C-alpha cells in the first residue's frame, strides 16, 4: 500500500497519514526489528510494545526476504485501522511500505 505523507517540517520531517482514512493522528503501538547477515535463517528479532521488550531469533515475520527489516505498528485516532509501516532492505536498496490490519 502506498505510504502517504502530508507536509514536511524541517524540525520533524514529513507527517505520516493513515492509509485508511488519510487522518493525521497515528499513535505508535509497537516496534519490531529484524537483523541478520545476508540470507541467514536466524538472526536477531526485537519487539518493544506496551513497556515490554522481547528478544528472540525468530525471523519468520521479517518483511525482508534476505536482510534487515523493521515494523512500526500504529493505531489511528480517526478510524479503527491498525496500520503497520515496514522498512525493508533488499539487494542493497531500502523499501518503505504500509499495510493495514
Ligand atoms: Zn485512520
CA angle 47, 88, 16 (to 5 degrees): 80
Q: Please report where in the chains the cell 534487515 appears, as a residue.
A: 68
CA gap 32, 28 in Å, rounded: 12
* Rounded distance from Cα 6 to ligand 1 centre (Å): 14
* Rounded distance from Cα 16 to ligand 1 centre (Å): 11
* Rounded distance from Cα 26 to ligand 1 centre (Å): 8
* Rounded distance from Cα 83 to ligand 1 centre (Å): 8
User: Each residue of 45-96: pLDDT tens digit?
Assistant: 999 999 999 999 999 999 999 999 999 999 999 999 999 999 999 988 999 9
Asked if the model's pLDDT at residue 39 lies above 90, the reply is no
Residue-range domain boundaries for the chain? 5-100
Asked if the model's pLDDT at residue 34 lies above 90, the reply is yes
Amino acid at each position: 500500500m502506498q505510504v502517504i505523507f502530508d507536509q514536511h517540517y524541517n524540525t520533524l520531517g514529513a507527517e505520516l497519514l493513515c492509509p485508511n482514512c488519510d487522518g493525521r493522528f497515528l499513535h505508535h503501538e509497537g516496534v519490531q526489528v529484524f537483523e541478520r547477515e545476508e540470507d541467514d535463517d536466524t538472526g536477531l528479532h526485537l519487539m518493544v510494545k506496551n513497556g515490554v521488550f522481547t528478544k528472540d531469533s525468530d525471523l519468520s515475520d521479517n518483511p525482508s526476504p534476505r536482510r534487515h527489516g523493521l515494523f512500526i505498528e500504529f493505531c489511528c485516532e480517526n478510524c479503527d485501522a491498525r496500520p503497520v509501516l515496514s522498512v525493508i532492505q533488499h539487494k542493497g536498496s531500502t523499501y518503505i511500505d504500509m499495510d493495514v490490519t
